[in-house]
A and B are shown apart, each in its own frame.
Chain A
Amino acid sequence: MTTLVPTAIYTSPTEPIEVKLIPGVGPHSTDGKTTQISEIVLKAGGEDRDKPSAAKDTPLGNLRAQLTTLQDKLNEFLTQKMLNKRKLEDDDIERRILDDGVDEDSD
Chain B
Amino acid sequence: MAPIDLDKYVRPGKDHFLALGLEGSANKLGVGVIKHPLGELTPENRALILSNVRDTYITPPGEGFLPRDTARHHRNWVVRIIKRALADAGVAGADLDCICFTQGPGMGAPLQSVVIAARTLAQLWELPLVGVNHCVGHIEMGREITGAENPIVLYVSGGNTQVIAYSNQRYRIFGETLDIAIGNCLDRFARTLKIPNEPAPGYNIEQMAKRGKHLVQLPYTVKGMDLSMSGILGYIDGVAKEMFGPQQKKLVDKETGEEITPEDLCFSLQETLFSMLVEITERAMAHVESNQVLIVGGVGSNERLQEMMALMVKDRKNGSVYSTDERFCIDNGIMIAHAGLLAYRSGQTNALEDTVCTQRFRTDEVFVEWRD
A38-B68, A53-B80 given as contacts; is B73 within 8 A of A46 (CB)?
Answer: no
What total of A-B pairs shows CB separation below 8 Å?
Answer: 34
Contacting residue for B57 out of A44, A50, A51, CB 8 A: A50
Rounded to whole Å, the gap between the CB of A38 and the closest CB of chain B is 5
B76 and A40 form a contact (CB under 8 A): no
Docked CA distance A37–B76 (Å): 11
Contact with A along B51-78 (1 / 0, CB 8 A): 0000001111111001011001101110
Interface majority SS (helix, strand, loop, mixed), chain A: loop
The answer to whether A17 has its CB under 8 Å from any CB of chain B is no
Q: Which residues of chain B come closer than 8 Å to A37, judged between CB atoms?
A: 69, 72
Q: Do A44 and B76 have beta carbons less than 8 Å apart?
A: no
Q: Which residues of B contact A16 (CB under 8 A)?
A: none
Cβ–Cβ contact B72 & A41, under 8 A:
no
Which chain B residues border A40 with CB–CB below 8 Å?
63, 66
Interface residue A11 (Cβ < 8 Å from any Cβ of B): no
Contacts of B72 in A (CB 8 A): 35, 37, 50
Q: Number of A residues contacting the other chain (C-beta, 8 Å)?
A: 13
Q: Which residues of A contact B66 (CB under 8 A)?
A: 38, 40-41
CB pair B80 A41 closer than 8 Å: no
Closest CB of chain A to B190's CB: distance in Å?
A: 14
**Bound CA–CA A46/B75 (angstroms):** 18
Give me the interface of A with B, judged by CB distance under 8 Å. Answer: 35, 37-38, 40-41, 44-46, 49-53
A-B contact pairs, 11 of them (CB 8 A): A35-B72, A37-B72, A38-B68, A40-B66, A41-B60, A41-B69, A45-B60, A46-B60, A46-B63, A50-B69, A50-B73
Mark B residues whose CB is within 8 Å of A: 57-63, 66, 68-69, 72-73, 75-77, 80
